[in-house]
């Protein structure tokens, strides 16, 4: 098994046992899935609307099935979804739809979901910029409410390691481009001069 496949499996087991083939007729669950159930119930009972991101479409399918069993209305979007804008408009116009399930990669750009005020990142991604871009779908012009964001990370697992890596990348980036560094003191003109090509 390749290392990337192993890492993916380790990440999937944090989300739900069914993602790694544990579906022998028994009703398996995970601590993260149970926490999600509590978060969703609490948010919806407080009349909050949720955008939930996962990078695993199979995980979104498990969540969708659970929502149907609970008779909770939801909208769904992944990379294969047709009528993307119609689904977004349906969520934004219909306050009875409490949750929008979105594939992290499909939902990173072109979405305006300011009708939601709660963001749940179900599983961490290697690149924090992708997660930040997803959260920005709710922090948009037109957002009238304060926004709550939840990042679900299973303690003592690869997810915690990914989160630590994200923090390291951010600290490294901040230290390279912070105000106290030469790069942080550069003006726009300095950058233009640096990248411009002159005739020789």
Q: Domains of the chain (ranges plus CATH)?
A: 3-156 (3.40.50.300)
- Is the per-residue pLDDT at 1 higher than 70? no
Distance of CA 127 to the CA centre of its chain: 11
Neighbours of 46 (CB within 10 A): 9
33-59 pLDDT tens trace: 999 999 999 999 999 999 999 999 999
Give Cβ neighbours of residue 153 (< 8 Å, ≥ 6 apart): 124, 159, 160, 162, 163
- What does the DSSP assignment read for 64-104? HHHHHHTT--EEEE-TT-SSHHHHHHHHHH-TT--EEEEET
Residue 72, burial from CB neighbour count under 10 angstroms (0-12, 13-18, 19+): middle
pTM of the model: 0.80
125-167 pLDDT tens trace: 877 777 777 777 776 656 677 888 899 999 989 998 888 888 8
Q: What CA–CA distances, in Å, run from 57 to 44, 104, 173, 190?
A: 23, 9, 31, 44
Q: Which two tokens stand for residue 191?
A: 């950058």
Q: Which two tokens stand for residue 172?
A: 């490294």
186-200 pLDDT tens trace: 567 765 665 555 554
**Looking at per-residue confidence, does 193 or 61 come out higher?**
61
């Amino acid at each position: 098994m390749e290392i990337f496949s192993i890492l993916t499996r380790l990440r999937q087991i944090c989300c739900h046992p069914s993602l790694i083939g544990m579906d022998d007729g028994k009703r398996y669950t995970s601590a993260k899935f149970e926490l999600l159930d509590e978060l969703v119930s609490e948010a919806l009972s407080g009349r909050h609307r949720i955008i939930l991101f996962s990078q695993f479409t199979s995980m979104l399918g498990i969540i969708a099935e659970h929502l149907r069993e609970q008779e909770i209305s939801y909208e769904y979007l992944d990379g294969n979804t047709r009528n993307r804008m119609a689904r977004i408009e349906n969520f934004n116009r219909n306050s009875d739809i409490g949750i929008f399930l979105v594939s992290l990669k499909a939902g990173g750009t072109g979405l305006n979901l300011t009708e939601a005020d709660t963001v749940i990142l179900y599983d961490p991604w290697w690149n924090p910029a992708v997660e930040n871009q997803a959260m920005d779908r709710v922090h948009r012009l037109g957002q009238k409410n304060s926004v709550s964001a939840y990042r679900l990370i299973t303690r003592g697992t690869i997810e915690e390691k990914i989160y630590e890596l994200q923090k390291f990348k951010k600290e490294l980036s901040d230290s390279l481009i912070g105000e106290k560094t030469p790069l942080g003191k550069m003006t726009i003109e300095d950058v233009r001069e640096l990248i411009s090509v002159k005739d020789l």
